[in-house]
Chain A
Amino acid sequence: MNYACTLGLRRHVFGDLKTVLAKASPARSGDMLAGVAAASEEERMAARMVLADLPLDRFLQEAVVPYEDDEVTRLILDGHDTAAFAPVAGLTVGEFRDWLLSDAADGASLQALAPGLTPEMVAAVSKLMRNQDLILVAAKCQVITRFRNTLGLPDRLAVRLQPNHPTDDPRGIAASMLDGLLYGVGDAVIGINPATDSLPAITTLLRLIDDFREQYAVPTQSCVLTHVTNTLRAIEKGAPVDLVFQSIGGTESVNRSFGVSAALLDEANAAALALGRGSVGNNVMYFETGQGSALSANAHHGADQQTLEARAYGLARRYRPLLVNTVVGFIGPEYLYDGKQIIRAGLEDHFCGKLLGLPMGCDICYTNHAEADQDDMDTLLTLLGVAGINFIIGVPGADDIMLNYQSTSFHDALYVRKVLDRRRAPEFEDWLERMGIADFRGDLLPQGEQQALLALAATL
């Protein structure tokens, strides 16, 4: 296949499909670090022109990462649903963008199309889209998942309560958890990043949340975000595991660097399903991803980081997860340099995940060595709210004192609810009203002595 185009007097030639994709990608530091980015702005546009004219089925013929070398590629291509693909099978990437923006692409047709799309097709079309296109199309997608409540319903936004503590101190964690619940946060999951991977410590944290959840009949799920092998051991020991967490990437080799494979994820998924702990559904997996992880593990195969991120979603969808979270600004400025790159990546990830049928959330975040600040986070939060994101993260005051980065705060969630009229998961909303934390509209109520959670706080 010939990948070339002429712009003015210059002929631009690209050796293969992954090079076209990489050079068509909006500028970001990680692709420059990997040496796969366009060398000039004109070359970037030339690559986009080549990409726009490629038939979508080209992505079924030429793999970005070789089929023989990579189980993620095999899962993507072997799992491709030709019948679902039929409505767009004759389109080029450029025509596919136009179709996605047209009224022919509505919630129902996009949902039916998802199994017919590969991550590479979705990544390709995203590279031809402006931010508003990524928002408009994602807003048409609806992905509903269930465990103890219902996530992803129209005009709803959930929040993961993230009560981390640098030494896993149970009282410190409980303090942040109560603060969050009193701010109406926690419907996506109450999820702790533990400071240690020791099994007793993890079990202690699982019991801490589960006992609390049982005592107050909170319609949500809990998770301790430890390696999948630790969660499997916790399940064997009889610990109260709701969700299996794992970080995943878009190549077999990056997943190997994370110590996981599809076989291991299959095993963990089956173990969690067998527990049958969900009350309204059985989506039991929670995945985290982020552009740049493959390069960071030297496992990128010369592909750009956004395409590889979409491939991670190709792996994720095998498990019908409850939550998929792109931790967009955590990895640092060598991958996403500044607020502009972080915002773009967050919108791309949400769009790609949604188009592939995943319940996308985003950890809207940055580190202190990135050229970003709270204003950038406000912008991305607002844009993802408009785009219909399933969930965001809630950390007290946006300051995660364990992971040393800034995410979104409980107040940020209230802001986006207010300006965009986004409500919580219905079961959780009812619970907040029963507890006297929020009124029937979802607005927080002033708290006083009669609040049961404050009585609990007094005992910590």
Chain B
Amino acid sequence: MGKPAILTPDPWLRLQGLTRARVALGRAGVSLPTREVLRFGTAHAQARDAVHQALDVATLQADLADVGFTSLAVHSQATDRGMYLRRPDMGRRLAPDSLALLGEQGRRLWSLHPPVAVVLADGLSSLATARHGLPLLQALLPYFPDLPGLPVIIASQARVALGDEIGHALGAALVVVMIGERPGLSSPDSLGLYLTARPRPGLTDAERNCISNVRPEGLPYADAARKLAFLMAGAHRLGRTGVDLKDDSDAAPALTDSPYPGLASP
């Protein structure tokens, strides 16, 4: 004995193969079927958790150490998630003890003017940083074998511009901020990469280059590393980042005659 049909199905299910958009959902009366309400609710729950979950700094530092990276952990002036969300300006400034730490420990651990400093920042999705930060650094190694000797800073309650103050404190020529992006419903763990030359407080976003949506389902690690290495080489050549530096990496030949010190072809 079958139950009578309650739902009105949409006889255009094949459109689901053409887009990730939520098409051909069918309806209960005019409303969403229960299964879609639950599917949507689950995706929203995961995105919300990604925003509020704190970055596990100790585990990330240990994992970095296992593959030869030395790191320091810092935090912004936003003392909790609520302040972080309400006061983006606080997320762009280092807490005083973190600034002091970079001054003292940074000099001891790394050379005074490193060509690059990497910041692994929680941003709006610590999930993205925890999942993709280390694999992306490893994907960069073929381009940049000296990377393990350079500063890696793990930053909590951080906005992109926090990298300016970090890079400045370390005297770095370039800072790469790898930061959790605002989670989408179907992408809770997208990592964004921001490249800034001559980092110092007071820069605007027009002076950065960005690579977005880094994750296996979006821009895979290998492709992201290739684009980033291309931009880093260009930034070194130009002496600046931002609107003048174009991402033509898709059209570029392999990086054989790289002008960038330590940048070898993969």
Binding site for B on A (CB under 8 A): 29, 32-33, 163-166, 169, 171-176, 178-179, 182, 332-334, 337, 367-369, 373-374, 395-399, 401, 404-406, 409, 411, 414-415, 417-418, 444, 446-448, 454, 457-458, 460
Judging by beta carbons under 8 Å apart, are A398 and B86 in contact?
Answer: no
Complex-state Cα separation, A175 to B25, whole angstroms: 13
- Please, could you name 13 A-B residue pairs with CB atoms under 8 Å apart, sorted by A? A33-B88, A163-B21, A171-B18, A179-B21, A334-B86, A334-B88, A369-B124, A374-B41, A399-B21, A411-B32, A418-B30, A458-B14, A460-B15
**CB of B115 within 8 Å of the partner chain:** no
Bound CA–CA A179/B21 (angstroms): 10
CB within 8 Å for A175 and B19 given contacts A368-B44, A368-B183, A399-B186 = yes
Q: Does B182 contact A (CB under 8 A)?
A: yes
Q: How distant is the Cα of A333 from the Cα of B44 in the complex, in angstroms? A: 16
A29 to B23, CA, bound (A): 35
Q: B16's closest neighbor in chain A, by CB?
A: A175
B89 contacts across to A, CB distance below 8 A: 33
Contact of B15 among A178, A334, A395, A418 (CB under 8 A): A178
- Closest beta carbon of chain A to B78's beta carbon, Å: 11
Do A404 and B85 have beta carbons less than 8 Å apart? no
Q: Is the CB of A448 within 8 A of B184?
A: no
Question: Which B residues touch A409, using CB under 8 A?
Answer: 22, 32
| Nearest CB in chain A: distance from B215 CB, A | 13
Interface size class of B (residues with CB under 8 A): 35 or more
Closest chain-A Cβ to B18's Cβ sits at a distance in Å of: 4
Most buried by B among A333, A367, A374, A411: A411
* Cα of A154 to Cα of B27 in the assembled complex, Å: 28
Interface residue B11 (Cβ < 8 Å from any Cβ of A) = yes
* Nearest-CB residue, chain B, relative to A179: B23
* Nearest-Cβ distance from residue A187 to partner chain B, whole angstroms: 17
Q: Is B23 within 8 A of A175, CB to CB? A: yes
Contact A404 B182 (CB under 8 A): yes
Contact status B10-A369, CB under 8 Å: no
B100 CB, nearest partner CB in chain A, Å: 27
Sorted nearest first, the 7 A-B pairs with minimum C-beta distance are A397-B22, A404-B184, A414-B30, A172-B19, A179-B23, A368-B47, A175-B15
| Contact A397:B30 (CB < 8 A) given known A334-B87, A368-B51, A368-B183 | no
Q: Is the CB of B182 within 8 A of A367?
A: yes
- B38-73, CB under 8 A of A: which get 1 and which 0? 001101100110110000000000000000000000
Chain A residues with CB under 8 Å of B185's CB are 368, 399, 401, 404, 406
- Inter-subunit contact B40/A398 (CB<8 Å): yes
Least Cβ distance of A225 to chain B in Å? Answer: 17
Q: Within the complex, which residue of B18, B47, B50, B186 is in contact with A175, where a contact is CB–CB below 8 Å?
A: B18
For B21, list chain A residues within 8 Å (CB): 163-165, 172, 175-176, 179, 395-397, 399, 401
Chain B residues with CB below 8 A from A169, complex form: 18-19
Indicate if B238 sits at the interface (CB-CB under 8 A).
no
The residues of B that contact A373 with a CB separation of less than 8 Å are: 44
Query: When the two chains form the complex, which single residue of A182, A444, A454 contacts B30, counting CB atoms closer than 8 Å?
Result: A444
- The smallest C-beta distance from A406 to any residue of chain B, in angstroms, reads 6
A33, A179, A401, A458: the one contacting B186 at CB < 8 Å is A401
What are the residues of chain B within 8 A of A374 when measuring CB–CB?
A: 40-41, 44
B31 close to A (CB within 8 Å): yes
- Give the nearest-CB partner of B23 in chain A: A179
If A172-B21, A333-B86, A334-B87 touch, does A454 touch B12 (CB 8 Å cutoff)? yes
- Most interface-central of B15, B47, B87, B184 (chain A CB within 10 A): B15
Residues of A with C-beta under 8 A to B184: 368, 401, 404-405
Contacts of A164 in B (CB 8 A): 21
Residues in A whose Cβ lies below 8 Å from that of B36: 397
**Which residues of B have CB within 8 Å of A182?**
10, 12
Nearest A residue to B18 by beta-carbon distance?
A: A175
Smallest Cβ-Cβ distance to B19: which chain A residue: A172
Residues in B with CB closer than 8 Å to A333 are 85-86
Also in contact, A457 and B12, with CB within 8 A (given A367-B182, A368-B48): yes
Chain A residues within 8 Å of B8, by CB: 446
Within the complex, the shortest CB–CB distance from B192 to chain A, in Å, comes to 12
- Nearest chain A CB to B151 CB, angstrom units: 29
Cβ–Cβ < 8 Å partners of A399 in chain B: 21-22, 40, 43, 185-186
Complex partner residue of A447 from B10, B50, B124, CB under 8 angstroms: B10
A29 lies within 8 A of B14 (CB): no
> In the complex, how many angstroms separate the beta carbon of A194 from the nearest chain B beta carbon?
15
Query: How close is B44's CB to chain A, nearest CB, in angstroms?
Result: 7
B254 touches A (CB below 8 Å): no
Q: Which residues of A contact B88 (CB under 8 A)?
A: 33, 334
Question: Does residue B20 face the partner (Cβ distance < 8 Å to A)?
Answer: yes
| Residue in A closest to B41 when the chains form the complex, CB atoms | A374
Q: How far is the CA of A398 from the CA of B32 in the complex (A)?
A: 11
Least CB distance, B41 to chain A, in whole angstroms: 8
Check if B24 is an interface residue, CB within 8 A of chain A: yes
Interface centre among B19, B51, B124 (most CB of A within 10 A): B19
B249 within 8 A of A: no
